[in-house]
Chains A and B, each alone.
Chain A
Amino acid sequence: MRDAEQKDGMALAIAGVNKTFGSFHAVRDVNFEVEEGRIFGFLGTNGAGKTTTMRMILDIIRQDSGTITWNGTPVSELPRRRFGYLPEERGLYPKMQVEDQLVFLAQLSGAKKTTVLQELGDWLVKLDIQENRHRTVEQLSKGNQQKIQFLAAILHDPDILILDEPFSGLDPVNAEQMKQAFLTMRDRGKTVIFSTHQLDQAQELCQDLAIIHHGQIVASGDVDAVRRSTGKTHVKFAIQGDDTIPWLSEMAQVQVVRRREDFIELEVPDEKIARSVLSEAIRREAPVERFEISPPSVNDIFLSVVRKLPGHDERADALGYARPEQVAV
């Protein structure tokens, strides 16, 4: 059984999972899979069901129906130390020293004190916070507290890391260190599942993703596949000395998605139409500064799938995007 799962490459399988709180259907028929040893982004607006899904993967709360398995074993039967968790609401004992606190939490998760102390020393250096080892948590800056919080999730050497919004509130330097830490964990063969609002980060860091909206998975799979799944093409386009480019609105099948300071982003059905934009510019002898064809960014995908759901239908229809089940790869 384990071999079959391994062949498939999918370690964490979430299948047909539902969860209701009273009359509120928080998670609805959720299906997605996460490959072992990969970084998986879990995207969604506030209240979409990310935290509930993560808590179910951790078996903190249990689904009403459906299964969540890790290499075929239900997560509820796995020992606790296989999981590492960084909750969205950060929490540590404010008046406890960093080392005491991390050792306590790792021991609670089932790790041995001596191994934890060794690991801790390495990580404090890696995250550049070694001078904080014997300070109390309340004495640390917010960014450093977050690094400690991250260490609280990994020091017991878990296989599956569930990180809820690990980047929120981090400055660029700290965010970079956090990304490096992610990669370190992946290189050690750990599976990292993280949720985020910062979609650029998701695009840059994760290999796979799932987008959840109103408790439903609206897109999931390999990042590149998801980006191509809309069948749409995006063009970053800029003409020197012309910020508005009024003639674009006259072109058929060309939509202006957003206007930025340095370029205009267009959405077109295919590359042929994209090239017709370039031809038109040349015909008009406009000095083209930038012309870049790419699949829609994760950000665009996110916005489009989110908008097409109830309340945004008219725009979704206008854009002609596929239904969620078709988007999923």
Chain B
Amino acid sequence: MFDLQRVWLVAKREWFVRLKQRSFQITTLVQLIIFLAAASIPVISSAFGDDGGGNEDTVTVLVLDETGDSLVDPLAAGLSAEVPDQPRIVIESTSESREDVQQRIDDDDADAGLAIARNDAGALEFALFNESGDVDILTQRISGAVTYLNLEDQLAQLGIEGATYDQAVAAPSIVLNASALGIDEESDAEGNAKFVIAYVFAFLSYMVVILYGNWVAQGVVEEKSSRIMEIMINAATPRDLLLGKVLGIGMAAMTQLLPTIVLGGIVLSLQRQIADRLDLGGSAIIDIDYGALSLQSGGWFLIYFIFGFVLFAALYAGIGSLVSRQEEVNQAIAPMTTISIGGFFGAIFTLSAPDSMLARVLSIVPFTSPTTMVPRIILGNPQPWELALSLVLLIATAVLALMVAARIYRVGVLMYGQKPKLRSVFSSGSAEVSR
């Protein structure tokens, strides 16, 4: 059906011509830089996070121990426990007056204060200081520690010691159970990172189809308007020319995309190592397994890009062949652009509800699957049969599109000056290439 030697000849020319174009080289470089910068976001955010090295938030609590019983250390032990998503508490022991403690809090020198005294009955008395006077999470955490301290003190005063004492003050076991509707097992940081990566690939799928599809249409019209098409059609069949063009521009697109995605993925995978080398602290965002994530999303993106590109490019070429002049291209490819934008909106929707019925349908329908399936793979749980069906449909539609485009091409390439109408392709009044 195809003369592969001729197809390759056309594809090679198309590819080399683009590689030599200054605009192509610059775009490739800019794209690469943007991607490498985006892949370095975790390391950059670590570098600019507060506290320079240690990225975690801390709060300072002033403790004024008026009892003389050295209660600061046991208190500090109680407050030092890490609580997820909460700042670490730093205890600063002070011997100033209560007024000074309040003053330092007002000056934002500390976040809260605690004064410990003993009343005439020997029981501990606590006074809390903060700026707002509200019972916030910090005061609750301090109260919790204080209650414990108080318990220990009272047990000691009652003379309970040894095993009985240990048993009484043993820390309770507390398990926090989150609702199953919440993000399962992964941290917020990982969820955010996945969301960003899914978004990047959704946008990239949308952009490349429009960009390279445009190249195809422009390329076909260039050959028509420069009239070289007529010599080419004498030498090769419209089918060969069409496939060569789609292939050649596809290779140019790959030349642009592959280094970007591969290098971007490598940089993203090495965030931990880069952070260590630069002696930056590590936050949660840097310790995600980016290697697996980029391999998975980049790999699927390329698979869907290849077949999605063939599908769209074939149609762009067919439409381009109906147009005689460069100025008419944009108008003629408007329907294709609309389909692409629809695919992008589908992808945006998929980002928010990756396993909803609509997202599942969009990720299987051929024209929207290239933009929506990749975000679904990253954020949701597509079933294997959904993936298989989506790919089979996409490939079948791409082959069908090539055949339809070849048909349009046969009539389109000899058609000049007429309004580009699909109907004229199937009417008998048009000159049609015989091969």
Q: How far does the Cβ of A153 sit from chain B's closest Cβ, in whole Å?
A: 8
Known: A80-B235, A91-B228. A104 touches B9 (CB 8 A): yes
Task: Give the interface segment out of B33-41, B325-333, B424-432.
Answer: B424-432
B226 on interface, CB distance cutoff 8 Å = yes
Distance between Cα atoms of A58 and B236 in the complex (Å): 12
Distance between Cα atoms of A65 and B384 in the complex (Å): 55
Q: List CB contacts (< 8 Å) of B372-415 with chain A.
A: 414
| Cβ contact within 8 Å between B226 and A91 | yes
Q: Mark A45-82, 1 if CB is under 8 A from B, else 0.
A: 00000001001001111100000000000001000100
Which residues in B have their C-beta under 8 angstroms from that of A94?
A: 226
Which residues in B have their C-beta under 8 angstroms from that of A58?
A: 234
Which residues in B have their C-beta under 8 angstroms from that of A105?
A: 231-232, 235
Distance between Cα atoms of A219 and B135 in the complex (Å): 109
Which residues in B have their C-beta under 8 angstroms from that of A22?
A: 427-430
| Cβ contact within 8 Å between A85 and B428 | no
Of B10, B232, B235, B433, the residue contacting A61 (CB under 8 A) is: B433
Of B13, B231, B236, the residue contacting A85 (CB under 8 A) is: B231
Q: How far does the Cβ of A85 sit from chain B's closest Cβ, in whole Å?
A: 4
| Cβ contact within 8 Å between B435 and A87 | no
Q: How far does the Cβ of B410 sit from chain A's closest Cβ, in whole Å?
A: 10
B419 on interface, CB distance cutoff 8 Å = no
Distance between Cα atoms of A62 and B233 in the complex (Å): 13
Shortest Cβ distance from A153 into B: residue:
B231
Distance between Cα atoms of A96 and B6 in the complex (Å): 19
Q: How far does the Cβ of A50 sit from chain B's closest Cβ, in whole Å?
A: 14
B118 on interface, CB distance cutoff 8 Å = no
Q: List CB contacts (< 8 Å) of A16-63 with chain B.
A: 21-24, 52, 55, 58-62
Of A23, A60, A104, A110, the residue contacting B233 (CB under 8 A) is: A60
Q: Mark B216-245, 1 if CB is under 8 A from A, else 0.
A: 000000110011111111111000000000
Which residues in A have their C-beta under 8 angstroms from that of B428?
A: 21-22
Q: How far does the Cβ of A138 sit from chain B's closest Cβ, in whole Å?
A: 10
| Cβ contact within 8 Å between A80 and B234 | yes
Q: How far does the Cβ of A115 sit from chain B's closest Cβ, in whole Å?
A: 16
| Cβ contact within 8 Å between B10 and A91 | no
Distance between Cα atoms of A83 and B223 in the complex (Å): 21
| Cβ contact within 8 Å between B429 and A87 | no
Distance between Cα atoms of A83 and B230 in the complex (Å): 13
Shortest Cβ distance from B433 into A: residue:
A60
A90 on interface, CB distance cutoff 8 Å = yes
Shortest Cβ distance from A62 into B: residue:
B434
Of A52, A62, A85, A95, the residue contacting B234 (CB under 8 A) is: A85
B17 on interface, CB distance cutoff 8 Å = yes
A174 on interface, CB distance cutoff 8 Å = no
| Cβ contact within 8 Å between A59 and B235 | no
| Cβ contact within 8 Å between B432 and A80 | no
| Cβ contact within 8 Å between A93 and B226 | yes
| Cβ contact within 8 Å between A87 and B231 | yes
| Cβ contact within 8 Å between B9 and A60 | no
Shortest Cβ distance from B236 into A: residue:
A108
Q: List CB contacts (< 8 Å) of A95-148 with chain B.
A: 95-96, 104-105, 107-110
Counting chain B residues whose Cβ lies within 8 A of the other chain, the interface size class is 20 to 34
Distance between Cα atoms of A60 and B102 in the complex (Å): 95
Q: How far does the Cβ of B32 sit from chain A's closest Cβ, in whole Å?
A: 25
Distance between Cα atoms of A93 and B21 in the complex (Å): 14
A274 on interface, CB distance cutoff 8 Å = no
Shortest Cβ distance from A105 into B: residue:
B231
| Cβ contact within 8 Å between A108 and B226 | no
| Cβ contact within 8 Å between A61 and B434 | yes
A92 on interface, CB distance cutoff 8 Å = yes
| Cβ contact within 8 Å between B414 and A61 | yes
| Cβ contact within 8 Å between A87 and B433 | no
| Cβ contact within 8 Å between B431 and A21 | yes
| Cβ contact within 8 Å between A60 and B229 | no
| Cβ contact within 8 Å between B235 and A109 | yes
| Cβ contact within 8 Å between A108 and B9 | yes
Of A76, A96, A152, the residue contacting B231 (CB under 8 A) is: A152
Which residues in B have their C-beta under 8 angstroms from that of A90?
A: 227
Distance between Cα atoms of A55 and B230 in the complex (Å): 10
| Cβ contact within 8 Å between B228 and A92 | yes
Distance between Cα atoms of A95 and B17 in the complex (Å): 9
| Cβ contact within 8 Å between B234 and A21 | no
Which residues in B have their C-beta under 8 angstroms from that of A153?
A: 231
Distance between Cα atoms of A157 and B430 in the complex (Å): 32
| Cβ contact within 8 Å between A96 and B17 | yes
Q: List CB contacts (< 8 Å) of A274-302 with chain B.
A: none
Which residues in A have their C-beta under 8 angstroms from that of B229?
A: 91
Scoring B9, B226, B230, B432 by chain A CB atoms within 10 A of each residue's CB, the highest score goes to B230
Q: Mark A182-196, 1 if CB is under 8 A from B, else 0.
A: 000000000000000
A325 on interface, CB distance cutoff 8 Å = no
Distance between Cα atoms of A45 and B9 in the complex (Å): 38
Distance between Cα atoms of A217 and B58 in the complex (Å): 98
Shortest Cβ distance from B225 into A: residue:
A91
A89 on interface, CB distance cutoff 8 Å = yes
Q: How far does the Cβ of A201 sit from chain B's closest Cβ, in whole Å?
A: 23
A-B contact sample (6 more), CB < 8 A, given A59-B435, A60-B234, A60-B435: A76-B434, A80-B236, A91-B226, A91-B227, A104-B13, A105-B232
- Subset of 26 A-B contacts with CB under 8 Å: A22-B427, A22-B428, A22-B429, A52-B431, A59-B435, A61-B414, A62-B434, A76-B434, A76-B435, A85-B231, A87-B227, A89-B227, A91-B226, A91-B230, A93-B17, A93-B222, A93-B223, A93-B226, A104-B13, A105-B231, A105-B232, A105-B235, A108-B6, A108-B232, A109-B234, A153-B231
